[in-house]
Structure 1
Amino acid sequence: MARPSDSLAGLMPRIAAGDRDALRQLYEATSAKLFGVCLRILSDREEAEDVLQEVYVTIWRRADRFDAARASVMTWIATIARNRAIDRLRARSPLARAEPVEDLEIADEGQVSAEALLSASDDAARLGACLGELDERTQGVIRTAFFEGVTYEALAQRLGTPLGTVKSWIRRGLARLRGCLER
Structure 2
Amino acid sequence: MAREDGLDSAVAAMRSGDEAAFRRVYRAVQPPLLRYLTVLVGAADAEDVASEAWAQAFRDLDRFEGDADGFRGWITTIARNRALDHLRHARRRPTSDEPVERMVELRDDSDVEGDTLGRVQSEAVLALIATLPRDQAEAVMLRTVLGFDAPTAARILGKRPGAVRAAAHRGLRQLAKKLSEEP
Normalised by the length of structure 1, the TM-score is: 0.48
Normalised by the length of structure 2, the TM-score is: 0.48
Which protein shows a greater Rg?
Answer: 2
